[in-house]
Structure 1
Amino acid sequence: MKFDVSSTALSSRLQVASKVIAAKNSLPILDNFLFRLEGDVLTITAADSETRLVTTVQVMNAQGSGVFALSAKNILDPLKELPEQPLTFDINDENLEIFIYFQNGKYNFIGARGDLYPQQKPLKDNAISLTMDSKVLLNGINRSLFATADDELRPVMNGIYFDIQPDNLTFVASDGRKLIRLRNSSVKSDERAAFILPKKPANLLKNILSKDEGVTMVKFDENNAHFMCDNFEMVCRLIEGRYPNYNSVIPQENPYKVTIDRVSFLTALKRVSVFSQSSSLIKLHLQTNELTIFGQDIDFSISAEERIPCQYNSPELNIGFNSTYLIEILSNISSESIVFELADPSRAGVIVPEENEENEDLLTLLMPMMLND
């Protein structure tokens, strides 16, 4: 086999695909990229025991066809440092000795047999298909991924829940203290379905979709999901189990509503939270059209307080929140102003954008922290 390929095009595909490869693999062959040459298309596969990523790159002057595997560790770093130029791959089909020739030199590797690489099992016949704009999928993952849990006892909480209805798709993530629910009405489905996407493939999709302007086709059964976009295909194992009824934990009646400029609130929180790092507790004191933010660290005898204007015409209220979670939530909203819906110091607060983006309905929920006074 022999072919020429752009160093930049090949390196960029390998960099994305390499994020699939685990630090320690049960099968040594999974430390490799799988290359398949057919005509003028080079297909590159990377996998671990649960996730598989496939991409293609155009090649020139191809001679022969076949399959070989090459150590990811050996090829990634040298290519990363090469400026844009054509590379010539020359593979001995008998002993899999590989030469890569470039402008000022060559690399020499011994490859591995491609037929040792595990094959992908097809999805079941009852698999469900869904097509959406890649930006919708990217936005859903970006907005919800930070709220997923790391819970060994409840693995269903460790991923993003895709709740598919005939007239919308809802992305849900929760770690028991915060919850994100993003509903997008531009995605339609013929039937109701759901699946839970683990964190690792969700992070891979973030990488892939940030460069994709087209549509993504999602196909899934009870165990696996298949994502297909312009330049990549990803197959991953889903988290099995039943996701909790997220709607049941969202308060339906929080009578006290505060409208606040999001950036003013966020920047004040960042400043005050410096003074409560040991506990992360910040106290919010609400009175007519004014919000006071308190932070205190008794161990170091430091404290801070800031006042910002808001729209609020209900009784005075003190409530405590984890500053880290509140900052994450506010950073996750793009609206200029947010509406904070509260009931009392022991019940969850609901934060929604004053104006949602087109086709979107975003709701976030945050459990309070107990105040000492």
Structure 2
Amino acid sequence: MKFVVSASVLLRHLTDVSKIMSAKVNMSMLNYAALTVRDQMLTLRYTDTMLTIVTRFPLEAIEEEGEVCVPLRLLMESVKETPNVPLHFDIDAEQKTAKVIFDDGLRQGNWSFTVERIEEYYELPELDEGRATQVEMTTDIAEEGLDKTLFCAASSNANTNQINVSTVHIEFTPEGVWFAATDLFRVGRYENTKVRQETRSSVTLPSKAAQVISALLPSTAEALQISFDDRIVLFSTPSIQVYSLLSDNRFPEVEQFFKQSISHEVVVNTRLLLDSVRQLAPFSTPSTMNARYAFSNSMIELEAYSETYEASAKQVIACEYSGGAFTIMLSIPLLSESLSKMSSQEVKLQFDEYGRFVLIRPAQPEAEEVDYAIYVSAMLQ
């Protein structure tokens, strides 16, 4: 194999596929990525056995095609410290040797390393074409849906009674697509009616897969195809593909959280409330991190007390509310993180009669086709 590639372009793609590489790997081939040169394109593929990332880009010049396995971390660190110049690769797959030469006019350099044969690498996951579902959308919708909900997912391995909450659920319906995630204390739900599917279908992504996909998808509107069967999901754009194995556990029913009876509704400036909540954090008990919120005519009184430090803090902020007085206890981290996901200038806080939860919505819809809400459970007072 002989080819020439830009150092900066190669580094960007090496960095993309390395997002799923662990600091320590327990199988030798997990140190390697598959590198293929064919049809004027270079393709990189890396897997951690649960996730697989494939990225491709055009090359500056090709003398000889082929495919091998290259040491991913070694190659990435080497390219990172190299000037942004063309890199000349000369790889002998049979002898398992590789040499890279560069010359930026001020200095010349080269390095050599060992490669492995492509036959020793993991096979690319394959969807069951006869059973697979395919959905077309744009990357900006998928990226926003994941970003607006992923933070609500539980930490890894949080499974209860065959229900997996360390996931992001995506539901495709005739009315639109919606994303949801929960840690059983809060639920984030994002719906976009631009994407409609005649037949209802769904896929539940493991949290790690959702994080990687969200990080790799561009926020600009590019073509995206999502394909999935009961074992594998594939997110595919013209330049990158991400495969993920799917969990056998089911996602909990969350729709009912957003259809409950509302007794109180408050409208408040998002930044004002968020700053006030964050300022209470140092004065709350570290083990609970809760604060008390008292609502009355056009006013919210926020109060936190730390038994550990015998310290307290109180703030009063203006709001739009004209109902009867009521009080609720909410987690400072859960509320502040939820508010930080709201891009509208004002938020609408909706409460039930018994103060068991708060529903947080943008006071003004972020877009005509978007419905976004976060359910946060109240804490015991």
TM-score range, shorter chain: over 0.9
Are positions 1:285 and 2:297 aligned together?
A: no
1:94 matched to which residue of 2? 94
Are positions 1:84 and 2:84 aligned together?
A: yes
1:363 matched to which residue of 2? 373
Are positions 1:339 and 2:339 aligned together?
A: no
1:148 matched to which residue of 2? 153
Cα gap change, 1:251 to 1:369, in 2 (>3 Å): farther
1:68 matched to which residue of 2? 68
After the TM superposition, which segments of 4 or more aligned residues of structure 1 sit over 4 Å from their partners? none
Query: In terms of mean alpha carbon deviation, does 314-323 or 345-354 score higher?
Result: 345-354
- Alignment of structure 1 residues 100-139 onto 2, 5 Å: 100-103=100-103, 104-124=108-128, 125-139=130-144
TM-score norm. by structure 2 comes to 0.94
SS in 2 for 1:244: coil
Q: Contact (CA 8 Å) 1:342, 1:350: kept in 2 or not?
A: yes
**CA root-mean-square deviation:** 1.5
Deviations 1:249-301 (A, max 9, x none): 33521111111111100011111222115121110011111001101112211
In structure 2, C-alpha distance between the alignment counterparts of 1:224 and 1:212, rounded to whole Å: 26
Percent identity (aligned): 22
Deviations 1:207-239 (A, max 9, x none): 211365411100111111111113101111122
User: Partner letter of residue 329 of structure 1?
Assistant: S
Q: Contact (CA 8 Å) 2:93, 2:115: kept in 1 or not?
A: no
In structure 2, C-alpha distance between the alignment counterparts of 1:222 and 1:109, rounded to whole Å: 40
2:338 matched to which residue of 1? 329
**Superposed displacement of residue 355, structure 1:** 1.2
Query: In terms of mean alpha carbon deviation, does 85-94 or 132-141 score higher?
Result: 85-94
User: Partner letter of residue 380 of structure 2?
Assistant: M
In structure 1, C-alpha distance between the alignment counterparts of 2:221 and 2:265, rounded to whole Å: 38
User: Partner letter of residue 328 of structure 1?
Assistant: E
Q: Contact (CA 8 Å) 1:254, 1:342: kept in 2 or not?
A: yes
Are positions 1:306 and 2:306 aligned together?
A: no
Are positions 1:5 and 2:5 aligned together?
A: yes
Query: In terms of mean alpha carbon deviation, does 5-14 or 99-108 score higher?
Result: 99-108
Cα gap change, 1:345 to 1:252, in 2 (>3 Å): closer
Deviations 1:8-43 (A, max 9, x none): 000000001101223444542121111011132111
- Give structure 2 stretches of 5+ with no counterpart: none
Are positions 1:52 and 2:61 aligned together?
A: no
- Alignment of structure 1 residues 207-246 onto 2, 5 Å: 207-210=215-218, 213-246=221-254
2:174 matched to which residue of 1? 166
Q: Contact (CA 8 Å) 2:67, 2:93: kept in 1 or not?
A: no
**Superposed displacement of residue 111, structure 1:** 0.5
In structure 2, C-alpha distance between the alignment counterparts of 1:256 and 1:108, rounded to whole Å: 68
**Superposed displacement of residue 347, structure 1:** 1.2
SS in 2 for 1:300: coil
**Superposed displacement of residue 343, structure 1:** 2.2
SS in 1 for 2:94: coil
SS in 2 for 1:78: helix
